[in-house]
Structure 1
Amino acid sequence: MDELELACFQIISAAGIAKSSYIEAIKEAKKGNFNKARLCIDEGDVNYTQGHNVHSKLIQQEADDKKINFNLLLLHAEDQLMSVETCKIMASELIESYERIVALENRR
């Protein structure tokens, strides 16, 4: 496995773990476990950042005139990283919505 393939798999792995954490955050919020949901978001952020850092190194290599051979694996890794960012936004919005729902139900 060459350096680029390894970087791609690191990005894909980190993105997958982050996505799982964000989905777990939504599930916890749905059950009313908002503190646990926030912990899951934080865990997801750590993994997302790891993947993002690997991606940033690839961008820096390209900027330093070390050509990166663009391939389908890199495209997939970048796609996974972008979709996780969307997943985080949606998870955060859903957690906030569940908190508002619970607050409204408790006011009845």
Structure 2
Amino acid sequence: MQVVMQIILAGGNAKNFAMQAITAAKNGDFTLAQQQMDNADKSLVEAHNVQTNMLTKEAQGQHTPVDLYMVHAQDHLMTAITFKDLANEVVAVYQRLATES
């Protein structure tokens, strides 16, 4: 359960940082937007490290039971990754609009 919660927490943090980056870009604060995107990346690395550790154990024969919590954690992580990628594009659009004004 601890591993599942680490993935959910890191994924949630990443998504939250990405949303804050969009808000900062919308307000014209591109330095803050970049900082928040960096924070999102760090959170995703944390989640990825937990996931990699699980995969390594699996490869070594230490099977992790897959239950609804694990499925939820993986879904949460994939959603956060997608949201961060989209946030990157939204921030870039706000930057472009700011330079063209």
What is the TM-score of this pair, normalised by structure 1? 0.91
Structure with the greater alpha carbon radius of gyration: 1
- Which of 14, 22, 25 lines up with 1:29 in the alignment? 25
Structure 1 gap ranges (5+): none
Matched, 1:92 2:88: yes
- Which of 48, 69, 84 lines up with 2:65 in the alignment? 69
Aligned pairs for 1:1-108 (under 5 A) are: 5-105=1-101
Query: What code does the residue aligned with 2:66 have?
Result: F
Count of residue pairs the alignment pairs up: 101
Regions of 4+ moved over 3 Å: none
User: Structure with the greater relative contact order (CA < 8 A, sep ≥ 6): 1 or 2?
Assistant: 2
Query: Could you tell me how far apart the structure 2 residues matched to 1:67 and 1:43 are?
Result: 32
Query: Could you tell me how far apart the structure 2 residues matched to 1:86 and 1:44 are?
Result: 12
Identity %: 33
Structure 2 gap ranges (5+): none
